[in-house]
Amino acid sequence: MSEFEEDLKQARDKQVSLYSKLSLFAVAIGIILVGFFFYTSAISIKVLPSEISNLSTLSIKTGTGFSMGSKIIKLSDAISLQVEAPGYQKKIIDLGENENNKIITVTLLSQPSGINFNVSSNFPDVKWILSDDVVAVGNKFQSDLEAGEYQLKIESKFFKPIQFGFSLGVGKVIEKTFEVERSMSELIIRLENGLGEIIINGNSYKDTAVARTTLFSGQYEILVNKKSYGSYQEKINLPYGKDSLSKTIRLSKENITVQFDVYPKGGVFILSGKKSDPNKSFSLSPDKEYVLSYEKKRFIRKSVRFYPRDYVGKKVVVNLVDAQGTVVFNSKPVSNVYINKKNMGNTPLTIELPVTSHEVVLRKNGYVDEKFSVKPEKDQKVYIEKTLVSVLEQKRAQQKKRYSVSSIAMAMRLFKPRGDVVMLGAPRNEVGQRANEFLRNVKMNRAFYLAEHEITEKQYQRIVRKGKTSNLPVTNLTWIEAIRFCNELSKREGLTPYYTIRGKGVVFLKNSDGYRLPSESEWEWASRKYKKRVPTIYSWGNRNKIPPGAGNIADESAKGITKSFVARYNDNHAGISPVKSFSAEKNGLFDMFGNVSEWVGDYYSLNPYDSKKIYEDLVNSHPSKSNVIKGASWKSGTVTELRASYREGLIGKREDVGFRIARNAE
């Protein structure tokens, strides 16, 4: 090789060496930079408590990364890290992508420490005392405890007390069985009833009255048997340190089955202070005295003392006697007292009755039976005060204030005078008074119904099957035709006709429930006195001026049609008008004043009444040639005719006379 080539080769080797050194330096710088990057992004794990910080270990459970002492470098977005230390519980934490370059504190919990102690023999009363507190009772003591120093005491009446001190480390469990020291005692069992079998802790001593045995302190089962006697069983305690224990046992004779028979059934049966079922059989000691009590409402309680030996083969019978109570009956008026359908006499009545429910009826003619139940109180007086209601009073209470007659669709309104005494008629000095308007004192006892308006042509036609069918009042009919209509309507409604027509004579059945004409007294009382302190001259009051729209009378429009008319009054009807064309009067009725005059039930008479006498529910039923009509009509235009006391006697019929119906309410 020439010198030039040699120089060239050396220059080339120097260049390669330089490149190698530069490459190594670059790699080293890269490693340093990568290490610095990872180190600065590492997660620091601080483990508490501080005393186990150097003992803890970190391990990655999921994800990619590695640990460097107390630091964790993640190579994946998220990892799960397990932290553990000796004597402490493991803990797993999750580290996400935002946890880099942070200090994470992890606190570990110590593993539980505990004890598992028991004693070598089985005793029911072992007490485990820790730091002067009773922490358990029984043969075993298991518990989790904190690490530390402890003093334990074990006590029982059956062995010598035990003292034990121990040190418990973190996460440690101590197990130990304590051998106990027991004493020896003599147990003596005596049978007072003579020879029998005595069994002590499973060992049998037959045909003996005394059994002796030596046993360790403890609890033992004693069983004593003897023929014809009930067995005796008991647990006997032999305490530690006691030299001997003696017990005498007396057996009771074998129980006898006792049954009971009680009357009445369904009461409360108490045997020896305990509520029981008398239908069951009871096993009872033959020589013991028992007390039973039996009671039931309405009966006298009974107690019985008995010995079961006296009831071998037979029942203990307990029959209760009805308890008695006093009942005092009083009534107004005096009445018969029926108790359970038996007449026991008249009020006032004092009587002894069983303490049970009794059906009572107080009865008197003309009065409604007063029915009720009475239940006497044991050894007490029960007072019964009753006021009987008359049949008439009951009917009044049941009266409807208003109802409709179905056959003719007529509304009937109830009036209750309640014994009102009223002076009807008119005095001689009253303007317009006529001589036939005799004054009379009338007592209005009976309640009655009045039709709200006069019978219309349509209603009349429904019953008699002839005539027109308008809503005008039916007129031009005789008194006989009016009462025949009433009788026919009564039959249609299933009621008893009020009138009996015999040729030209008419008999009034005054207690009938059928339809009729109102009496003159009823008509005048309803028009003049209803809901008023004293009777008024006109249906609206005592003022001579007629109120606007009071009714259909001879007004300005009737001038030239009627004999007279009322000036400056206009009712818009020159003649007859349909019923209810005007407002109802204060009594709730229509057209008592005006439209048509009305037949009433009385015969017409010119005989004056006795001014000193009071006539009850007055109606003149003595036949005469004419009958009474009441009230003004569309033809009435004088003061005389417009007054409520105005009356006429009429034979035959008239174009301005109709009628309304009435009916007894009681």
- CA-to-CA distance for 561 and 544, rounded, in angstroms? 23
Q: Provide the pLDDT confidence category of residue 545 given band limits of 50, 70 and 90.
A: very high
Of 85-99, 300-314, 430-444, which has the strongest mean pLDDT? 430-444
Express each pLDDT in 441-465 by its tens digit: 999 999 999 999 999 999 999 999 9
Q: pTM here?
A: 0.50
- Stretch 578-597: mean pLDDT, rounded? 97
Tell me the pLDDT band of 16, cut-offs 50, 70 and 90.
low
DSSP 131-147: TTEEEEESSEEEEEE-S
Looking up tokens 């057996």, which residue turns up?
A: 251
Q: How confident is the model at residue 255 (pLDDT cuts 50, 70, 90)?
A: confident
The per-residue pLDDT for 4 is 61
Whole-number pLDDT of residue 414: 97
- Residue 290 near residue 284 (C-beta atoms within 8 A): yes
pLDDT tens-digit readout, 179-231: 898 989 999 999 888 898 999 988 899 889 889 999 988 888 999 988 878 78
Q: What is the mean predicted confidence (pLDDT) over 125-143? A: 88
Residue 30: predicted pLDDT? 57
Residue 27: per-residue pLDDT? 57
CA 104 vs. chain centroid, Å, equals: 67
State both tokens at 576. Answer: 């007859």
Query: pLDDT tens across 86-125, in order?
Result: 777 787 887 776 666 678 887 877 777 888 989 988 888 8
| pLDDT at residue 80, rounded to an integer | 83
Mean pLDDT, rounded, of the chain: 89
Give the DSSP letter of residue 655. Answer: T
Q: Is-contact 580 568, C-beta < 8 A? A: no
pLDDT exceeds 80 at position 305: yes
Residue 111's pLDDT is what? 73
Query: How confident is the model over 236-248, as a mean pLDDT?
Result: 90
Go through the chain and tell me how many residues it has: 666
- Rounded Cα distance between 184 and 152, Å, is 26
Residue 37: φ, ψ to 5°: -65, -50
DSSP state of 97: T
154 has pLDDT over 80: yes
Residues in Cβ contact with 504 at an 8 Å cutoff, skipping those fewer than 6 apart:
none
Question: What average pLDDT score do residues 468-488 get?
Answer: 97
pLDDT of residue 322: 82
pLDDT of residue 612: 93
CB 621 within 8 Å of CB 411: no
User: Is the pLDDT higher at 166 or at 86?
Assistant: 166
For residues 309-330, give the mean pLDDT. 90
CA 368-371-376 angle, 5° bins = 145
21-73 pLDDT, tens digit per residue, is 666 766 556 555 545 445 555 787 877 887 777 777 887 878 787 777 777 87
Query: Percent of the chain, pLDDT > 90?
Result: 59
Highest mean pLDDT among 167-181, 199-213, 367-381, 517-531: 517-531
DSSP string, 15-81: HHHHHHHHHHHHHHHHHHHHHHHHHHHPEEEEEESGGGGGG-EEEEEESSEEEETTEEEESSS-EEE
Instruction: Among 138-152, 349-363, 629-643, name the most confident range.
Output: 629-643
Looking at this protein, which amino acid is placed at residue 390? Answer: S
